[in-house]
Structure 1
Amino acid sequence: MKIIVIGCTHAGTTAVKNLLRLHPDADITVYERNDTVSFLSCGIALHVGGVVEHAEDLFYSSPQELAALGASMHVLHDVINVDNENKKIRVRNLQTGEQFTDKYDKLVFTTGSAPVIPSIPGVGLKNIQLCKNYYQAQQIIKKATNAQKIAVIGAGYIGIELVEAFATNGKDVTLIEGANRILNKYLDHEFTDKIETTLREHHVTLALGEKVESFIGNSAGGVQAVQTSKQTHEADLVLLCVGFKPLTDLIKDKVDTLENGALLVNEYMQTSDPNIFAAGDNCAVFHNSANHMAYIPLATNATKMGTLVAYNIKRPTFAYKGTQGTSGLKLYDLNIASTGLTEEAAAIYGLDVRSFTFTDHERPTFMPSAEEVRIKLVFEQESLRIVGAQVMSKTDQTHLMNTVSVCIQQQMTVTDLAFADFFFQPHYSKPIHLLNSLALNILEQREPMQKTAEVRVST
């Protein structure tokens, strides 16, 4: 069996390793337009902030490793056409310009995503920088050395992490976001208000509810300011962090996709063409909280999907369990994480939800370093099905979101969580675990409503 893999970042790398392990007799050929594989772009802010000294440490594999395992590796090769009717691809060698054709039995499409470049006047000026791959990380470090006024466009996780890194290095940082608050896709107001206050305390300028209208250049062709719908912000370096788009132009007219071009795959990672499998940031995923297909580009989704490609390439074996979009962030002394839907997002999906926010110590207060934890649960009003949660604390309680993520995946309710089994040990927890307490408080609040309903029935 000849398997061609196009693209080799997270999904591609895990797919290749598992294909080689599970199908040692298969011919595995990889085409990658870059000369590297497996770069963890989420670590760029750590590199900028000096936590990770060498950007090379952000790779967890290499073309040499995959070749040693048995893959036929072709880096700096760009696939320019896919003929799925005849199971052929057309490839260009980016070093020589040579073009050639290759054939496959199964095609694995793991091309990933690319940063969104908004069509804003002046976007092509020097020192307006994207933040995705290894080479862009190197450029950011180089350009930031002499930059003093840095503007970050987009207040998602990557933007927030870069802001902290630059501010810690003594730069004059402005965070510009079109929405009226930061991290609005991941957290509700109770949490973003605190994070915004923390950023301001660290001298970050927040320009919220401001739409970027143009970039203003200087005589040397470099950026010198960002013009928004409200004001002008001086900047000699601009980082664009406004989101990602799936790289699917090669096949989006040949298979089923979402409106944004993200590939639709079944639970076994097959596209609508049964000989083309896909995984990672170029795909839509099933969101268990929303019961809906959605575009959620995360390395965790990509690696699971890439592994499933290898298991299912010959026959359906293991099904994808969907995602909750679980993610986390460390900002200064705050540990933050979320899973599933926020209260606002649930309303967008048409879910009738309620929420409860609970603050308590993670350990008994007789322990000398017990810290408060703020945690929020979002659940359906009638069924009590859990659809989302958020947590914030100065101690690391982000693991709680992994627990709630499993609850959502298993369609658990508030009642299930209230009586779930967790251990008690004063170094780590309380006799009534935080998640138990959270759910029990919700049930207690609903008791008056239930009693009223019982009275109405009895009369």
Structure 2
Amino acid sequence: MKVVIIGASHGGLQAALTLKRLDSSTEVLLIEKRTEISFISSGIILKMNDMVDELDQVRYLTLEELEEKGIDVLLNTAVTALDPERKAVIFESQDGQKSELSYDKLILATGSNQFSTNLTLPSEDKVTMYKSYPSSVNALANLEKAQSISIVGGGYIGVELCDALKDQGKEIHLIESADSILFRYLGKEIASIIEKKIIDSGINLHLNESVLGFSDTDKELFVTHTTNKEIRNNYVIVAVNARPDTTLVKEFLDLNTNGTVRVNEQMQTSDPDIYAIGDVTSYPVRNSYRKSFIPLVNNVVRSAIVAAMNVLGQTINYNMTQRTTATKIFGCYIATTGLTADEAIFEGIEAESIFVTLPCQMPYLKVQEEVHVNLVIEKSTHKLIGGQLMSEKDITQSINTLSLAIDKETTLEELVTMDFYFNPAINQPLGFISQAAYEFLIKKYGV
């Protein structure tokens, strides 16, 4: 069987590797329009925090490693059209030479692009998107020399950039159109703690503000116009507006209303010989009435595994997503999964939530740490539908417990009585997840 994969980022690579591991005789060809493969877009954060020596190291695999596994790769090659009736891929190399090849199965892993329908962006030495390796290289150079920087978007990339820049003596502005940072992932309680840390670090936080445009003043400075202010900058990073890249298939594949490619549980499109994975499609969200565009790598990789196995006849369905995430910013670990209380209202769920701050250790230990816990439940069933954790202690693995609990429709009562370990040198007898559920029950039933 010959499988062609368009796109050599997270999803394309995982699909190719899975195909080869399942059946080494499968002919696998990756086609990538860029000059590089497998770059992780958050690599700029790792480099700025001195977690890697070189930005170019932030990759899953090298081209040589892929070829050693028997995977063929075409770089600097733009797919210009698909002919699903002939099962043909038409492409153009960097030197302008046009060619085509056939496939038995095709996996679309074209990912997402950043764009704005409203803003005219100045040159890349003033305003930069962040996703690709070349733009990240450019951003690093410009961030180093700029003294006044605006970051557009208070999601993970924007907040992580602020954290990396906070001690460099620069004037930093974080601009977010919503009324809180990380609003898709955090409830107001934990978000407000992080917002205070951002402000206390000297960063200018602009909530409920949208960027309207940019205007030049001179060679060094230009103005970022928001709905409330005019900010004089040397440099701006735009960390918003990721959208699915469906250019090749939007004329002949069924699309969802949000512009993503429609797939079934096996990641198969309306053409049975074409599969779509990663940011180009939408995912079913637990406790949501609709599929959503969720550009998270964990979803991308899982969808790639599902597609590859089904391509080779091993039926496996994509499970729901809880949008489970984690990061470390401003000295704190943050982890989230499921719906926030505000999202539950939007989904038409009558929900309740509790926010508690709990000790991690027994009180006699010299080292004392605390964790902030926010749990969201469906009111009628006590079923857990969302949770967020924050602590100076690394509690990120515990969010996987909450994600599994949401997936299995676990109730508060079950969380309290579930068998978790206790060690008097490490934790509390109930553990902070069970303790938070216990506090929720006391709040509900106490007199």
| One-letter code aligned to 1:119 | N
Q: Answer yes or no: is 1:178 the counterpart of 2:170.
A: no
Structure 1: how far apart are the matches of 2:437 and 2:319? Answer: 25
Cα root mean square deviation, aligned: 1.6
Tell me what 1:339 maps to. 337
What residue is the counterpart of 1:357 in the other structure? 355
**Hey, what does 1:86 align to over in structure 2?**
86
Q: Provide the rounded CA distance (Å) in 2 between the counterparts of 1:309 and 1:219.
A: 51
- Corresponding residue for residue 244 of structure 1: 242
Correspondence list, 1:142-153, <5 A = 142-153=141-152
Question: How far does residue 190 in structure 1 lie from its aligned partner after superposition?
Answer: 0.4
Q: Rate the CA distance shift 1:370–1:243 in 2: closer, same or farther, 3 A.
A: farther
Return the offset for 1:373. Answer: 0.8
Q: Which digits, 9 at most, give the CA deviation of each residue in 1:30-63, with x for residues without a partner?
A: 1100122111112321213333221122111122
Measured in 2, the distance between the counterparts of 1:55 and 1:250 equals: 30
* Partner of residue 446, structure 1: 444
CA contact (8 A) 1:175 1:206 kept: yes
Distance between the aligned counterparts of 1:200 and 1:25, measured in 2? 57
Give the aligned residue type for 1:165: A
Q: Percent identity?
A: 30
Matches of 1:107 and 1:120, distance apart in 2:
35
Number of aligned positions between the proteins: 447
Deviates more, 1:46-55 or 1:201-210: 46-55
Per the alignment, residue 452 of structure 1 pairs with: none
Distance 1:345 1:124, change over 3 A: farther
Is it true that 1:52 corresponds to 2:61 in the alignment? no
* 1:331-410 mapped onto 2 (5 Å cutoff): 331-410=329-408
Tell me the SS of whatever aligns to 2:352: strand
**C-alpha distance in structure 1 between counterparts of 2:431 and 2:364, whole Å:** 16
- 8 Å Cα contact 1:128-1:223 kept in structure 2: no
Say which SS state the counterpart of residue 89 (structure 2) adopts. strand
Alpha carbons 1:126, 1:223 under 8 Å: kept: no
Q: Which residue of 2 aligns with 1:455?
A: none
Instruction: Determine the structure 2 residue equivalent to 1:454.
Output: none
Structure 1 equivalent of residue 415 of structure 2: 417
Aligned 8 A contact 2:328 2:334 in 1: yes
Q: Which amino acid letter does the alignment assign opposite residue 294 of structure 1?
A: S
Match of 1:166 in 2: 165
Counterpart of 1:214 in structure 2 is: 213
Any residues of structure 2 matched to 1:157-306 within 5 Å, and which?
A: 157-220=156-219, 224-306=222-304
The 3-state SS of whatever aligns with 2:279 is coil
| Aligned AA (1:42) | S
User: 44-53 or 126-135, which moves further after superposition?
Assistant: 44-53
Paired with 2:399 and 2:239, the residues of 1 have a C-alpha distance of 25
Contact 2:359-2:369 within 8 A present in 1 as well: yes
Letter in 2 for 1:240: V
Structure 1 range deviating more: 259-268 or 185-194? 259-268
- Higher mean C-alpha deviation, range 338-347 or range 313-322: 313-322
Distance in 2, Cα, partners of 1:315 & 1:164: 46
User: Is 1:103 aligned with 2:106?
Assistant: no
Q: Which secondary structure does the structure 2 equivalent of 1:162 belong to? A: helix
Distance in 2 (CA, whole Å) between partners of 1:180 and 1:324 is 23
* 1:119 to partner: Cα distance: 2.2
Q: Distance in 2 between matches of 1:288 and 1:122?
A: 37
TM-score by length of 2: 0.96
Runs of 5+ in structure 2 lacking a partner? none
- The 1:125/1:9 distance shift into structure 2, 3 A limit, reads closer
Partner Cα distance (2:303, 2:232) in 1: 43
Q: Which sits farther off after the overlay, 222-231 or 15-24?
A: 222-231
Confirm or deny: 8 A CA contact 1:321 1:409 kept in the other structure.
Answer: no
Q: After TM superposition, give the deviation of residue 316 of structure 1 in Å.
A: 4.5
Check conservation: 2:373, 2:389, Cα contact below 8 A: yes
Q: Distance in 2 between matches of 1:195 and 1:151?
A: 18
Partner residue of 1:156? 155
Structure 2 distance, partners of 1:387, 1:135, is 40
Residues 329 and 335 of structure 1 are in contact (CA less than 8 Å); yes or no, is this contact kept in structure 2? yes
Bigger mean CA deviation after superposition, 75-84 or 305-314: 305-314
The alignment partner of 2:99 has SS state of strand
Any idea what SS the aligned residue of 1:90 has?
strand
CA contact (8 A) 2:194 2:330 kept: no
Counterpart pick for 1:326 among 304, 324, 329: 324
Which amino acid is 1:130 matched to?
M
DSSP-derived class of the 1:281 partner:
helix
Q: Which amino acid aligns with 1:155?
A: G
Once residues 330 and 240 of structure 1 are traced to their aligned partners in structure 2, the CA distance between those partners, rounded to angstroms, is 21
SS at match of 1:184: coil
1:291–1:229 CA distance, 2 compared to 1 (3 A): closer
Give SS of 1:412's match. Answer: coil
Cα pair 2:121 2:127 within 8 Å, conserved = no
Question: Given the superposition, is the C-alpha separation of residues 115 and 428 from structure 1 closer, same or farther in structure 2, using an over 3 Å criterion?
Answer: farther
- AA aligned opposite 2:245: L
Q: State the alpha-carbon separation in 1 of the partners of residues 282 and 139 from structure 2.
A: 30
2:71 counterpart residue number: 71
Alpha-carbon distance in structure 1 between the residues aligned to 2:184 and 2:221: 29
TM-fit CA distance, 1:343: 0.7
Structure 1 residue aligned with 2:425: 427
Distance 2:265 2:141 in 1: 43
AA partner of residue 232 (structure 1): E
TM-score by length of 1: 0.94
